[in-house]
């Protein structure tokens, strides 16, 4: 540790306070989405805006810039590589902040807020034309932002690539197109195969879906799941919210939320698995003695890696056959005895109910087969809107056409088409691909995990989920931002990220799911 008065220590104190402010915002966000009464929204908005202003000020002030420069000047040949990396990441973020015209920052904040409000209304009324001008304005402002940010980029990047950097550092369009091409080529065929043989299993799945699990039972099963996966109530808290999420309120304070969805009896359970995966990653990030907490190295490296961790626990574990076999008796026991106690007709039926494979219109309800196609569609449309001058007015028709091409279905309304997601309504471009990258990263890491500790299915079957966690805790979580997402995969698997492990995994799963039991 450097001397007490050093620039590095001063910078640490500055970052520590900035992180305190950020985590206060997270606490307010958590409260807002779990218990805040509706009428509290306006005041809460003012509280959050005040904190955001303070945070922005701290992250772009001359004082802060001088602290970073002084800490850089202190770096000598003996400086630990972690410190060098931390300062590099801070410098990049600082340069980005300094490129931005404050007038644009403010205009964007207003447009995002307006975009959200207009979208809520337009979606409710299925009126894309009401939303189009707000979207048009957001696109124009984000393009402007990308052009201002271009000066800070260490390499030449297109506007979309620049906007995607905060979510997926160093991502490029070419690389995404390369990764997504096999998905576009092979997933539709897999979906078709399921559709052909799926008719036989439809009844079992539908019956399993009709099973109504009492709310208290769903809550209890979620609690049992978390207990068996190392949930520690002295550091974690689970609440209810309208949409499930996970957030970190402090170095020892982790929250997740779930919801019970009427008519979707397994939704809360799978969402719990998903959000807990996010939380485990956050809990495992490098922060020995909380030292790294305010530093970049203590942060998640990308949204793709974050998503790989939630998808691992949701799809590779909770939707797996071995897991279905272990948990089927618990679900049935909760339903008592008698004919209603096993609406799935056995463990295999329960596994099928955990894995409905049917293309649908809504991304957030999509299964493992079609999910990435929803992402490819959005990625390509974002490029068209931001970089290829596609008129905003063409969006509904383009959306529907691509849904037909990729998934073989078409929405009847824009509300269940191009108005379904909140992202664009808040000017969030460049985010969607991370969801698909999460699937690919999870699959490729799983292969390496199996090489090193044996079959995931075997470990689940023998009741050792802690072995899976231990591997992730040792290999993945402590990396923080020392590597980006692609580097993380290369380092842990010995080869570049590819879509092949994911496709192989899906082919095997489809095969097993569609045979007669």
Q: What's the closest the beta carbon of residue 24 comes to a copy of itself, in angstroms?
A: 5
Instruction: Using the minimum distance from each CB to a copy of itself, give the nearer residue, 39 or 77.
Output: 39
Helices in 454-496 by DSSP H: which ranges? 456-461, 465-475, 485-493
Residues with Cβ within 8 Å of 352's Cβ and at least 6 positions away in sequence, in order, are: 201, 204, 205, 208, 344, 513
Residue with tokens 């897991």: 323
Instruction: Using the minimum distance from each CB to a copy of itself, give the nearer residue, 42 or 77.
Output: 42
Strands of 202-252, DSSP E: 236-240, 246-250
With contact defined as beta carbons under 8 Å apart, do 456 and 320 qualify?
yes
Question: Is residue 368 annotated as part of the catalytic site, yes or no?
Answer: no
Instruction: Using the minimum distance from each CB to a copy of itself, give the nearer residue, 13 or 202.
Output: 13
Q: What's the closest the beta carbon of residue 234 comes to a copy of itself, in angstroms?
A: 5
Q: What's the closest the beta carbon of residue 52 comes to a copy of itself, in angstroms?
A: 12
Of the candidates 505, 371, 368, the residue with the CA atom closest to the CA atom of residue 450: 505
472 token code pair: 């992730």
Residues with Cβ within 8 Å of 42's Cβ and at least 6 positions away in sequence, in order, are: none
Instruction: Using the minimum distance from each CB to a copy of itself, give the nearer residue, 24 or 461.
Output: 24
In the set 168, 275, 368, 486, the catalytic residue is 275
Instruction: Using the minimum distance from each CB to a copy of itself, give the nearer residue, 39 or 103.
Output: 39
The SS3 call for residue 256 is: strand
**Contact residues for a copy of itself, defined by CB under 8 A:** 17, 20-21, 23-24, 27-28, 30-31, 34-40, 42-44, 46-47, 50-51, 233-237, 239, 249-255
Burial of 28 (0-12, 13-18, 19+ CB in 10 A): middle
Report the Cα 511 to chain-centroid distance in Å. Answer: 28
With contact defined as beta carbons under 8 Å apart, do 137 and 394 qualify?
no
392 token code pair: 């905003």
- Alpha-carbon distance of 23 to 29, in angstroms, equals 10
Instruction: Using the minimum distance from each CB to a copy of itself, give the nearer residue, 244 or 343.
Output: 244
- Alpha-carbon distance of 512 to 517, in angstroms, equals 9
Instruction: Using the minimum distance from each CB to a copy of itself, give the nearer residue, 23 or 246.
Output: 23
Q: What's the closest the beta carbon of residue 159 comes to a copy of itself, in angstroms?
A: 36
Q: What's the closest the beta carbon of residue 235 comes to a copy of itself, in angstroms?
A: 4
Alpha-carbon distances, residue 346 vs 203, 268, 342 (angstroms): 13, 21, 7
Residues with Cβ within 8 Å of 192's Cβ and at least 6 positions away in sequence, in order, are: 408
- Rounded (5°) CA angle 318-26-228: 25
Q: What's the closest the beta carbon of residue 53 comes to a copy of itself, in angstroms?
A: 10
- Alpha-carbon distance of 276 to 415, in angstroms, equals 30
Q: What's the closest the beta carbon of residue 39 comes to a copy of itself, in angstroms?
A: 4
The DSSP output letter for 289 is: G
Annotated catalytic sites, by residue? 275
């Amino acid at each position: 540790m450097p001397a007490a008065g050093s620039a590095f220590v001063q910078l640490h104190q500055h970052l520590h306070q900035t992180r305190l402010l950020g985590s206060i915002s997270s606490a307010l966000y958590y409260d807002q989405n779990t218990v805040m009464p509706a009428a509290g929204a306006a005041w809460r908005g003012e509280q959050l805006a005040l904190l955001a202003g303070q945070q922005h000020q701290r992250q772009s002030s001359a004082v802060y810039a001088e602290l970073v420069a002084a800490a850089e000047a202190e770096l000598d040949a003996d400086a630990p590589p972690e410190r060098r990396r931390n300062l590099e990441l801070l410098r990049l973020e600082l340069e980005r902040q300094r490129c931005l015209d404050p007038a644009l920052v403010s205009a964007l904040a207003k447009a995002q807020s307006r975009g959200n409000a207009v979208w809520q209304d337009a979606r409710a009324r299925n009126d894309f034309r009401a939303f189009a001008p707000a979207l048009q304005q957001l696109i124009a402002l984000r393009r402007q932002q990308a052009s201002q940010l271009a000066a800070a980029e260490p390499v030449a990047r297109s506007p979309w690539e620049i906007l995607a950097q905060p979510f997926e550092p160093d991502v490029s369009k070419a690389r995404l197109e390369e990764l997504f091409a096999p998905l576009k080529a092979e997933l539709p065929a897999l979906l078709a195969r399921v559709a052909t043989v799926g008719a036989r299993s439809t009844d079992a799945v539908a019956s399993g879906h009709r099973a109504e699990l009492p709310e208290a039972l769903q809550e209890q099963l979620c609690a049992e799941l978390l207990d068996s996966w190392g949930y520690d109530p002295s550091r974690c808290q689970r609440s209810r919210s309208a949409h499930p999420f996970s957030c970190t309120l402090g170095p020892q304070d982790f929250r997740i939320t779930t919801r019970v969805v009427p008519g979707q009896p397994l939704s809360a359970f799978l969402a719990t698995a998903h959000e807990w995966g996010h939380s485990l990653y956050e809990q495992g990030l490098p922060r020995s003695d909380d030292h790294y907490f305010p530093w970049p190295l203590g942060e998640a490296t990308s949204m793709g890696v974050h998503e790989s961790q939630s998808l691992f626990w949701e799809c590779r574990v909770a939707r797996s056959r071995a897991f279905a076999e272990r948990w089927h008796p618990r679900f049935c026991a909760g339903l008592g005895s008698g004919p209603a106690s096993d609406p799935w007709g056995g463990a295999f039926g329960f596994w099928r109910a955990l894995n409905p494979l049917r293309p649908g219109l809504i991304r957030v309800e999509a299964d493992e087969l079609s999910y990435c196609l929803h992402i490819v569609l959005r990625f390509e449309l974002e490029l068209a809107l931001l970089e290829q001058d596609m008129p905003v007015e063409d969006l509904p028709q383009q959306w529907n056409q691509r849904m037909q091409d990729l998934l073989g279905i078409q929405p009847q309304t824009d509300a269940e088409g191009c108005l379904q997601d909140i992202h664009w309504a808040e000017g969030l471009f460049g985010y969607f691909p991370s969801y698909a990258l999460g699937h690919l990263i999870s699959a490729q890491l799983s292969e390496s995990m199996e090489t090193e500790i044996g079959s995931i299915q075997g470990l689940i079957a023998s009741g050792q989920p802690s072995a899976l966690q231990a591997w992730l805790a040792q290999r993945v979580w402590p990396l923080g931002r020392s590597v980006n997402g692609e580097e993380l995969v290369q380092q842990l698997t010995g080869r570049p990220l590819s879509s092949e492990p994911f496709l192989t995994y899906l082919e095997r799963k489809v095969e097993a799911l569609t045979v007669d039991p």
